[in-house]
Amino acid sequence: MSTRAQQYDAQVLRREQLSPHLVRLTLGVDGFVSTGVPDEWVGLVVPGQFQVRYYTVRSCGSGELVLDVVVHEVGLVTEWASRDVVGDSVVVTEPKGSFALPADAEWLMLVGDLTAMPAMARISETVDLPTRIWAEVRDDLAGYVPDAAHVTWIDAPAEGTSRLADVVAELDWPEGPGYFWMAGESAPMRAIRKHLMRDRKLPASAYDVMGYWRAASARQPRAVDPGPIYREGKAQGLSDEEIWARYDSAPEEHQARS
């Protein structure tokens, strides 16, 4: 464990391509203690970066931590994880979880996109209740979740768009108390929470709906560290606005070299 509180130094031991857009990274990490919450996640800082991205703990034990990382079109971790990263040193933060099954739950419904697959798989491996999953993914991930869970595969449209809000609005709900868990792109989540609360009249304890990522907009985390360009601009006496304009107009190749 590193000297900084609540962070662990880790090393990539193995990298496995599970499907065209999903990469499994096994990290070696000493002293990591799981919360036991099945959707627990860690922050991941990859070499040469200071920005954190969040990943579900797919599994852990015996000094190893497994993260299944989606590689999408561009992205800081995406670009790193697309390469042969075995041997790289990374930092992970202490785990946190959100899944909170009510004691009287008789069933489980899980809805999500590819980024939610690691959590949906771990939840359905861990929780012994009748489980239905709606997964919006482009890759063939049959076998990724336990056989006992009933999976409805939804063909994902182009990256950055999702039909999950419509899927949730049309769900057939089981009788009796249960638990609904969902994660994916942030934009539709507010409407989905409203639907669960107002139309389905679910108490807040009966669902957990999380935005795992944000589709591109003016202010997004950048694919590469803006630090070097910022420092260079400051040294040249540029204003912040001039520096960010330079960064925004720089081609990725230039940004990555800076």
Ligand X SMILES: Cc1cc2nc3c(=O)[nH]c(=O)nc-3n(C[C@H](O)[C@H](O)[C@H](O)COP(=O)(O)OP(=O)(O)OC[C@H]3O[C@@H](n4cnc5c(N)ncnc54)[C@H](O)[C@@H]3O)c2cc1C
Q: Are strands 22-29 and 41-45 parallel, antiparallel or unpaired?
A: unpaired
| CB-nearer residue toward ligand X: 13 or 238 | 13
At its nearest, how many Å lie between ligand X and the CB of residue 97?
A: 9
Nearer to ligand X, 33 or 106 (CB): 33
Q: Would you say 55 or 179 has its CB closer to ligand X?
A: 55
Looking at the Cβ atoms of 50 and 198, the one nearer to ligand X is: 50
The sign of the torsion formed by the CA atoms of 153, 156, 157, 160 equals: positive
Q: Find the shortest distance in angstroms from Cβ 242 to ligand X.
A: 23
Strand pairing category for 131-137 and 108-113: parallel
Q: Which C-beta is closer to ligand X: that of 42 or that of 202? A: 42
Nearer to ligand X, 88 or 199 (CB): 88
Measured from the CB of residue 42, what is the shortest distance to ligand X in angstroms?
9
Contacts 24+ apart (CB under 8 A), 45-51: 45/90, 45/91, 45/92, 46/76, 46/77, 46/80, 46/81, 46/85, 46/88, 46/90, 47/80, 47/88, 47/89, 47/90, 48/225, 49/76, 49/80, 49/225, 50/225, 50/227, 51/76, 51/221, 51/225
Q: CB–CB of 46/67 below 8 Å? A: no
Choice between 157 and 174, CB closer to ligand X: 157
In this chain, which residue has its C-beta nearest to ligand X?
75
Question: Shortest distance, CB of residue 154 to ligand X, whole angstroms?
Answer: 15
Q: How far is CA 188 from its chain centroid?
A: 16
Q: How far is the CB of 78 from ligand X (least distance, A)?
A: 3
On whether the CB atoms of residues 149 and 79 are closer than 8 A, the answer is no
**At closest approach, how far in Å is the CB of 241 from ligand X?**
22
> Which spans of this chain sit near ligand X (rule: CB under 6 A)?
41, 53-56, 68-70, 72, 74-78, 115, 118, 159-160, 212-216, 220-221, 223
Cβ contacts of 15 within 8 Å, gap of 6 or more: 23, 24, 25, 26, 81, 84, 85, 86
> Cβ of residue 28: shortest distance to ligand X, in angstroms?
19
